[in-house]
Amino acid sequence: MIQLNDTHPSLAIVEFMRILLDEEQLEWDAAWDLTVRTFAYTNHTVMPEALECWSVPMFEKLLPRHMELIYEVNDRFMKELAVEYPGDMDRLRRMSVIEEGNPKKIRMAHLAVIGSHSVNGVSALHSELIKTQLFKDFYEVFPEKFNNKTNGIAHRRWLIKANRPLAKLITDAIGTGWEKDLGGLEKLIPFRHDKLLKKKWRQVKYDNKKVLAEILYKTQGVMVNPDSMFDVQVKRIHEYKRQTLFILYAISEYLKLRENPDAYMTPRTFIFGGKAAPGYFMAKLIIKFINSVASVVNHDKANKDKLKIVFLENYRVSLAEKVFPASDLSEQISTAGTEASGTGCMKFMMNGALTVGTHDGANIEIADAVGHENIYMFGLRAHEVAEIKSRGYQPGMYLERSARLQEIFHLIRTNFFSPTERGIFDPLVQNLTLSDPYMVCADFESYCAIQNQISENYQDQDGWTEKAILNVARSGHFSSDRTIREYSRDIWKVPVRADADTPNP
Ligand SMILES: *Cc1c(COP(=O)(O)O)cnc(C)c1O
């Protein structure tokens, strides 16, 4: 069994065919049957730019035999389709492994779907979107291939190793056993009413925040207040993940404070972190923008300790292991229908952060697990995003109705955050106000409304802690042990015993 982790290794399908045909001398049909029974494909994103398409001329030059085999695979597939859908040339063109054009391209995702017996998405919503949108034509032809395997995370890394104090507190309460079977965390549920446990729980979170604060001071020279809410968005920088929505909210809080400096506010530290792909201009501009806003906001004497914005340098796993245990609020705010699963969301949950999130990816399953009173969901649903787009989305309609958004864009345009680099953020403002491909404007008011509710709820530390404990207690479903058991049972047909020892403890 070979599990294709995205389209990147999909060339293995034709390499396997080459070995069976050229070296093992099998007939085509026997070789193809073995190949399809051997391969399974996991799709990890619906972003079109991530679905690899390779140039045919380059391929012909570098791997002529593999190119020949791809043509043969495609020819046979096209002939089968022509029998099933006579005269439907449009369908044949859409489903072909070869995309016409100059140069012609190989659609690796189509090769992966045709050459595999299983095609899975990585969250319930994503696996549905694959069937109804991304691979709709293929789902009609091969419905039996399609299935879901919701992602999970290694709880031994992201809870036991990264947050030893919390792991110890859990074991002190419910005993051992949960480390090998994370479903056992449900024993924590009744403890959410235990006064002493809640007090210790808050102390653990506070200590973890101090550890992160110390690291930030040592590595970046920034001071943060561990008594403030640590509101965190850490993930690769991408427009669909909407770091812009988070920073626009931070600006709106700053404006509130400027209007009314003495008003009580839940103190927040807005923490951003993540890398941009080297050639992704807009992602780099977003990083620049966050840092520029931070330098204005953090230097404004008026805001005292109520508001701070930090951009983490060099966000990576070793830093992430310090960030999740120190977080109060997890920002999972992608445009509905764009985040295949997300795994950061699970790391936060397992470390007792509450989630503010859209109805996207694994957020939906986290909400199902904890109940809607223990998570902050907001914004358009995936089907609403699709409907609005099909009618022709115009951000101006939402801008008109939001005085706050208008004010913010005016400030950016008039270089309030870039006094020495005039116009530098024009491409960002133009993108958000003219096309807004990820509907930041459409979700802004609903996001601010839920954030206000979060500020209020955070004042009730006891209630907040109860929700945090419940989130951890229900996080067992998001262990990769569960994910791997499902792959083993459903795709690889090598089920593992539920009580199997974990290797390399
Ligand atoms: C978990 C993790 C990610 C993925 O985060 P998402 O929020 O799911 O996009 C990215 N980078 C690092 C370092 C991580 O640990």
pLDDT in tens, 37-91: 999 999 999 998 888 999 999 999 999 999 999 999 999 999 999 999 999 999 9
Q: What is the DSSP letter of 117?
A: S
| Domain shared by 161 and 117, yes or no | no
174 in Cβ contact with 187 (< 8 Å): yes
Total of domains in the chain: 2
What separation, in Å, do the N-terminal and C-terminal C-alpha atoms of the chain show?
A: 26
In a domain, 492, yes or no: no
26 plus 166 within the same structural domain:
no
The answer to whether the CB of 351 is under 6 A from ligand 1 is no
Within-domain flag for 133:
yes
Q: State how far the Cα of 357 lies from the Cα of 336, in Å rounded to an integer.
A: 10
In this structure, which residue's CA is closest to atom 4 in ligand 1? 344
Q: Which among 364, 358, 472 is positioned nearest to 123, based on CA atoms? A: 364
Q: Domain check: are 172 and 127 in the same one?
A: no
Catalytic residues: 44, 235-236, 241, 343, 347
Last residue within a domain, chosen from 107, 133, 148: 148
User: In a mutational test of the pocket of ligand 1, which residue from 45, 232, 235 has the highest number of ligand atoms less than 8 Å from its CB?
Assistant: 235
496 part of a folded domain: no
The pLDDT of residue 496 is above 90: no
- Distance (angstroms) between ligand 1 centre and the Cα of 474 equals 20
User: In terms of domains, do 178 and 84 share one?
Assistant: no
Domain carrying residue 8: 2-148
pLDDT computed for residue 499 by the predictor: 64
Quick check: is 500 in a domain?
A: no
Ligand 1 atom closest to Cα of 153? 1
213 belongs to a structural domain: yes
- Same domain, yes or no: 467 and 345: yes
Q: Are residues 172 and 263 in the same domain?
A: yes
Query: Is residue 505 pLDDT above 80, yes or no?
Result: no
pTM of the model as a whole:
0.97
- Across the range 379-396, mean pLDDT stands at 98
Question: Are 353 and 368 in a shared domain?
Answer: yes
Q: What is the mean pLDDT of the chain?
A: 96
Expressed in angstroms and rounded, the spacing between residue 241 Cα and the centre of ligand 1 is 12
Ligand 1 pocket mutation, candidates 126, 153, 159, 234, criterion most atoms within 8 A of CB: 234
CATH of residue 416's domain is 3.40.50.2000
**% of the chain surpassing 70 pLDDT:** 98
CA 20 to ligand 1 centroid distance, Å? 38
265-314 per-position pLDDT tens digit: 999 999 999 999 999 999 999 999 999 999 999 999 888 779 999 999 99
d(CA 226, CA 212): 9
Residue 503 counted as domain residue: no
User: Cβ(92)–Cβ(80) under 8 Å?
Assistant: no
How many whole angstroms from 343 Cα to the centroid of ligand 1?
A: 6
